[in-house]
Structure formats: structure tokens, C-alpha cells
């Protein structure tokens, strides 16, 4: 499994230079072990390498308070179980979590750029080497 590409590294540098330290990122996720979810691309490295928060933190989150772990799993599963036609669940998650940006790796799955095509809600602020970052413009 490849979590990070050279394109992700460049995008992470852009994030560090062009977003506020308090920025929140939505990332693609999937189940990993029975009790741990993981990111599917370089977005999972946003927190350890830039200090910005992501919708799914690094794997050590499983050692936190059980209520936090359960809430983290619920957020992750909302993303991991996304299917076309269920965009509102993603938009609700963005609103509830105060998400500022969406990070999509070179082979985004399950969330793809099409989910964020509404230019009144999202602005593409970065696109390079297959990596796309959208800014959340308002309440989706």
C-alpha cells in the first residue's frame, strides 16, 4: 500500500505555506484493522507533517478516550462508506466538523473531485501531480 507520492509531498509543502495552522482538512479514509481506520493517500500525513487537523487523525487516536475514538470512527465511516447520491452526508460532516479544505490524492476514493464540483460551495485551490485541494466556501 502506497500512502504518499512525490505529488503528496509537494502538496503538503503547499498546505504548510498557504493555509492557516488551525485549518481542518477532510481526507479520504478506509477501514484498516477492526479497531483502526486509515487515510488512503498523502492526506493522512497532513497532521504529522504540517500540524493541520484532519477528519481522521494518525492511528494513535485509538488510544484516546473511548468517546473520542467512537466519534472518530463515525466520521471516518461516513467518508469510507460514501456512494454517489449520498453527498449530503459528506456536506453535513464538513459543516459539523468545521472543515476548511478537502484533500484528494492522485487516485481519490471514495470521494472524488466530482463530489466537490459545486463552485458556490467549493473552490479548487490546488491541482498538481494528481493532487487536488478544495477550499470550502460556505455551508455545503
Question: Domain extents for the chain?
Answer: 6-131
| pLDDT (0 to 100) of residue 64 | 86
HSE value, Cβ hemisphere, 13 Å, CA-based, for 14 = 19
CA dist., res. 79 & res. 103, Å (int):
12
CA separation for the pair 113, 103 (Å, rounded): 10
Residues of the chain above pLDDT 70, percent: 94
27-34: average pLDDT: 81
Q: Is 76 helix (H, G, I), strand (E, B) or coil?
A: helix
- Looking at every residue in the chain, the average pLDDT score rounds to 91
Query: What pLDDT was estimated at residue 58?
Result: 78
Counting every residue written for the chain, the total comes to 140
pLDDT of residue 84: 93
pLDDT score of 8: 93
Q: For residues 114-135, give the mean pLDDT.
A: 96
**Residue 27: predicted pLDDT:** 97
pTM of the model: 0.93
Grid cell of 11 as nine digits: 502538496
What value does the mean pLDDT take over residues 110-114?
Answer: 96
Q: To 10 degrees, what angle do helices 87-97 and 66-80 make?
A: 140
Return the minimum-mean-pLDDT range out of 8-12, 55-59, 90-94: 55-59
Residue 48 makes CB contacts below 8 A (sequence gap 6+) with 58
- 30, pLDDT greater than 80: yes
Amino acid at each position: 500500500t502506497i500512502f504518499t507520492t512525490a505529488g503528496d509531498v509537494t502538496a503538503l509543502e503547499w498546505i504548510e505555506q498557504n493555509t492557516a495552522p488551525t485549518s481542518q482538512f477532510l481526507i479520504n479514509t478506509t477501514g484498516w484493522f477492526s479497531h483502526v481506520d486509515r487515510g488512503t493517500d498523502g492526506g493522512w500525513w497532513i497532521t504529522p507533517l504540517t500540524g493541520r487537523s484532519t477528519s481522521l487523525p494518525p492511528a494513535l487516536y485509538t488510544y484516546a478516550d473511548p468517546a473520542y475514538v467512537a466519534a472518530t470512527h463515525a466520521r471516518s465511516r461516513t467518508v469510507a462508506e460514501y456512494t454517489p447520491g449520498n453527498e449530503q452526508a459528506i456536506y453535513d460532516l464538513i459543516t459539523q466538523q468545521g472543515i476548511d479544505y478537502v484533500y484528494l490524492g492522485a487516485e481519490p476514493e471514495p470521494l472524488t473531485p466530482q463530489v466537490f464540483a459545486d463552485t458556490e460551495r467549493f473552490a479548487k485551490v490546488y491541482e498538481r501531480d494528481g493532487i487536488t485541494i478544495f477550499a470550502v466556501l460556505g455551508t455545503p
